Structure 1
Amino acid sequence: MKKVIDQLKHVSNTNTTVLILGESGTGKELVARALHQNSDRKNKPFVPVNISALPESILESELFGHEAGSFTGAMSKRIGKFEYANGGTLFLDEVGEMPVDTQIKLLRV
């Protein structure tokens, strides 16, 4: 646990992407929240997204948003989680469950 806390202190004030690994239920979101609360982003949004809880058909729209009329049922513009978390922290839980084509788009953000 001390190693985790030391690493949190080391990366909390850097502007970098952090990959938190661990089995389901081991506290990855707690670590992400601790990182957020100890960073310069603490007054900005913390946006958790459980990838495995979202159907593949709406995943991209949830993450990246959409314009009105961009697909059937898109009646109005919707901002995505990336835009909502802008300046804060976006926590993608179960990111390994994300389809490969969406992972590629994620790398371009």
Structure 2
Amino acid sequence: MQSLTELATHASIALQNTEQRTQLLRTRDQMAGEASRSVRMIGDCPAIQALRITVERVAKTDLAVLILGENGTGKEVVAQSIHYQSRRWNEPFVAVNCAALTETLLESELFGHEKGAFTDARETRIGKFELASGGTLFLDEIGDLSLAGQAKLLRVL
């Protein structure tokens, strides 16, 4: 009798976990949908219209994309537009401002580290590449990295 009670308890917990997982997935999809609707490229000039067409076309592919432009021109908005129009829309979009990364933080920030890997590594930390797995990693201002940092990044890409 006790075994049946324990089995019923475990089955009940498993059912609750399944329901919670389903709800979490629904919430995640809803939030991703809301995020995609909030990304807007503003303007109706021919250049913006051409950009929208290019974004649509690129979003249908599974290719790495290089977005060039001056500071403040909306490179991240374009990257988000591509991401949210692609089949990866419900996966993470992770943006990294490379200009803010010092040489000492670069590897830890992008690639993560294990607890005890160096003096201040008090806990395991997941890198941005792993966080963006299955989604999009937007690396902004790569040109502001040191040459050594760019070389490390190039080896990964």
TM-score (norm: length of structure 1): 0.92
Q: What displacement does 1:82 show?
A: 0.3
1:55 aligned to which of 102, 107, 116:
102
1:29 corresponds to: 76
Structure 2 gaps, min length 5: 1-47
2:123 aligned to which of 76, 82, 101:
76
Instruction: Tell me the alpha carbon deviations over residues 66-102 of structure 1, each in whole angstroms, 9 at most, x when there is no partner.
Output: 1111111011211100000000011111111122222
2:143 aligned to which of 96, 100, 103:
96
Rounded Cα–Cα distance in structure 2 between residues aligned with 1:54 and 1:84: 17
Of Structure 1 and Structure 2, the greater helix share is in 2
Structure 1 gaps, min length 5: none
Percent identity of equivalent pairs: 57
Q: What displacement does 1:13 show?
A: 2.1
Say which is worse superposed, 91-100 or 23-32, in terms of deviation: 91-100
Rounded Cα–Cα distance in structure 2 between residues aligned with 1:44 and 1:63: 18
Q: Which has the larger radius of gyration?
A: 2
TM-score (norm: length of structure 2): 0.65
1:108 corresponds to: 155
Higher relative contact order (CA 8 A, sep 6+): 1
- The root-mean-square deviation of aligned C-alpha atoms, in Å, is 1.2
